[in-house]
C-alpha cells in the first residue's frame, strides 16, 4: 500500500508546443515517465521507448518524455528543435513535454513527487542522469524506478504485468 495518497494525476506540464497538459488525462493508464535528452549516450533509447509505446498503447500504456538540460547540457535545443529531432530521428509519437528541471530547487513538481515516491539507491532522491525511468500503475502510483542504463525493452514484462492487472 502506498504511504502517500498523492498520484501523478495531480500534476500538469506544458507540451513541446506550449499547450498545458494535465497528467489526469492519462488516468487509468500505465505510464513510463522518462527524463530525456537529445545529445546523450542514452539518446538511442528513444527508439526503444517508441517501440514500447506502439506495442502497448492500445492496451492503455503511454510513455511521457520530459526533456532536461541538467546533465552535461545534453538538451540544449529549443522545444521546436527537440520535437523535430525526436520525430525525424526516432519517429517519436508519444507525448513529449517542454524542457524542465528534474533536480534542485527549480525541479518540476512532478519530479519532486517522483523522487519522493521512489528515491532510488541508498534513498537518494536525486535523478542521476538522463533517461531515468519511473513506472506508474493504473492508479497513478509510482511502482518502479529504473536506471538510465536499463533498456526500455527490459521493462516489457513489468509493463505487461501492470497492464494485465486491474
Active site residue 40: yes
Angle between helices 156-164 and 45-56 (to 10 degrees): 20
Residue entry with cell 494485465: 164
Which among 30, 34, 40, 86 is annotated as catalytic? 40
- Active site positions, annotated: 40
Amino acid at each position: 500500500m502506498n504511504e502517500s495518497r498523492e498520484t501523478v494525476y495531480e500534476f500538469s506540464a506544458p507540451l513541446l508546443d506550449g499547450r498545458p497538459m494535465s497528467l489526469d488525462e492519462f488516468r487509468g493508464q500505465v505510464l513510463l515517465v522518462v527524463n530525456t535528452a537529445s545529445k546523450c549516450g542514452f539518446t538511442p533509447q528513444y527508439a526503444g521507448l517508441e517501440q514500447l509505446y506502439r506495442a502497448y498503447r492500445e492496451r492503455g500504456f503511454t510513455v511521457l518524455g520530459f526533456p532536461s538540460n541538467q546533465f552535461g547540457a545534453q538538451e540544449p535545443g529549443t522545444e521546436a528543435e527537440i520535437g523535430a529531432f525526436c520525430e525525424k530521428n526516432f519517429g517519436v509519437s508519444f507525448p513529449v513535454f517542454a524542457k524542465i528541471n528534474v533536480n534542485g530547487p527549480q525541479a518540476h513538481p512532478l519530479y519532486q513527487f517522483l523522487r519522493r515516491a521512489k528515491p532510488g539507491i541508498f534513498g537518494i532522491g536525486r535523478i542521476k542522469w538522463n533517461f531515468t525511468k519511473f513506472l506508474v500503475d493504473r492508479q497513478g502510483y509510482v511502482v518502479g524506478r529504473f536506471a538510465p542504463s536499463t533498456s526500455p525493452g527490459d521493462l516489457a514484462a513489468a509493463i505487461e504485468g501492470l497492464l494485465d492487472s486491474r
